[in-house]
Amino acid sequence: MKLSEVESQMQKTIEATQKSFNSVRTGRANASVLDRIVVEYYGSPTPLKALATINTPDSSTIMIQPFDRGSLGLIEKAISQSDVGLTPNNDGQVIRLNVPPLTADRRKEFVKTAGKLAEEGRIAIRNIRRDAIDSVKKQEKSGELSEDESRDNQASIQKLTDKYAGKVDSLLAEKEKDIMTI
């Protein structure tokens, strides 16, 4: 496994972690909290983004305007059953989600959720490191790499791991600050 491949995989993990952080609510209305919502539309699970236009007319409201009015009830049901914690208001045309200001306890819960997502990102990075080091050890065993080259590659992989784990930590710190800001 090449170092550039390892770095590419770790970068993808950072991007995935950032995406999952975006789905954690802060005190302001943010359409990305609905990214994980999947609607059962004509028997197949469909992402909410594919069924409706989502925008934030002000800092405390998310407005969902479906392309097909027949899907209003399905979208409303999917939001109600999700872990977003927002109650949909359906007026027959659009669905409005009022984002209430977060209490201190609720903010702490969201910080814990963000912490769990960050830990999942770190675990994914460590799994990439483990696979890469195993690959280097196999190459050393088969004679493709000398012992010194193997040690150098393993050290480089560990440096990449530390770098990307640090990126996850900085993303987490940024998200915690965002959540705790009133």
Taking domain 28-98, whether its CATH number is 3.30.1360.40 is answered by: yes
Average pLDDT value over all residues in the chain: 88
Centre a 10 Å sphere on the Cβ of residue 12 and count the other Cβ atoms it contains: 12
- Supply the DSSP symbol for 32: G
Q: Tokens in use for 80? A: 């109600």
The percentage of the chain sitting over the pLDDT mark of 70, rounded to a whole number, equals 98
Q: Is the pLDDT of residue 169 over 90?
A: yes
Determine the pLDDT at residue 29: 76
For 23-37, write each residue's pLDDT tens digit: 776 767 778 788 888
- pTM of the full predicted structure? 0.70
- Please, which pLDDT band fits residue 108 given cuts at 50, 70 and 90? confident
Q: For residues 51 and 143, what is the distance between their CA atoms, to the nearest angstrom?
A: 55
CATH 3.30.1360.40 domain position(s) in the chain: 28-98
What's the CATH class of domain 3-21+103-180?
A: mainly alpha
CATH 1.10.132.20 domain position(s) in the chain: 3-21+103-180
Q: Tokens in use for 145? A: 């790499």
Supply φ then ψ for residue 97, to 5 degrees: -115, 115
